[in-house]
């Protein structure tokens, strides 16, 4: 937990937990990805001391969305190609959006701020940290 503030850029923080949730969802399916997202979010809430249930809700939605891309015949492709980065970006952006929506106490939040600065930018930054996953999977599978 103490390493994350050192890799943040301004107020944009990568969500490394969502990368694991996406990977789990792509390997085991939507149902198990949703359940894993809920447990990962609950653990994150308990460890971080934030609003209880906010990360649990956001990561549950993240696991559910990533599970849509599950196909037992394309597990290797989905986890070792650029398609994985697209899934991580989409899931991380939606996860960040819902997390901020539930935890923010600011009244002046605009839709463009929520979507751009707290959805898309963290999604892009989280996707950058997912690059080693596809590089590892490509080398492991010899693609």
Residue 1: what pLDDT?
A: 43
- Report how far apart, in Å, the C-alpha atoms of 32 and of each of 20, 25, 70 are: 13, 7, 11
Separation in Å, CA 128 to CA 64, 80, 92? 22, 15, 11
- The single residue listed with the structure tokens 């559910």 is 64
- Please work out, in degrees rounded to the nearest 5, the angle formed at the alpha carbon of residue 96 by the alpha carbons of 134 and 115: 110
**Nearest partner of 133 among 55, 30, 18, judged by Cα:** 18
Residue 3 is given by DSSP the state S
Q: What is the DSSP letter of 9?
A: B
Nearest-angstrom CA–CA distance, 12 and 15: 10
pLDDT of residue 2: 43
pLDDT, one tens digit per residue, over 84-135 is: 999 999 999 999 989 988 887 776 667 777 788 788 989 999 999 999 998 8
Three-state secondary structure call for residue 34:
helix
pLDDT average, residue stretch 47-75: 93
Both tokens assigned to 116: 């751009």
């Amino acid at each position: 937990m103490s390493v994350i503030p050192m890799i943040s850029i301004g107020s944009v923080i990568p969500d490394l937990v969502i990368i694991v949730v996406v990977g789990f969802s792509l390997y085991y399916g939507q149902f198990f990805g949703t359940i894993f997202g809920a447990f990962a979010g609950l653990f994150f809430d308990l460890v971080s001391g934030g609003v209880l249930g906010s990360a649990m809700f956001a990561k549950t939605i993240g696991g559910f969305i990533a599970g849509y891309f599950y196909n037992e015949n394309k597990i290797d492709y989905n986890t070792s190609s650029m398609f994985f980065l697209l899934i991580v970006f989409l899931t991380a952006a939606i996860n960040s959006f819902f997390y901020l929506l539930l935890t923010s106490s600011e009244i002046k939040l605009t839709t463009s701020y929520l979507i751009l600065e707290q959805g898309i930018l963290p999604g892009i930054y989280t996707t950058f940290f997912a690059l080693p996953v596809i590089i590892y999977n490509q080398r492991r599978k010899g693609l």
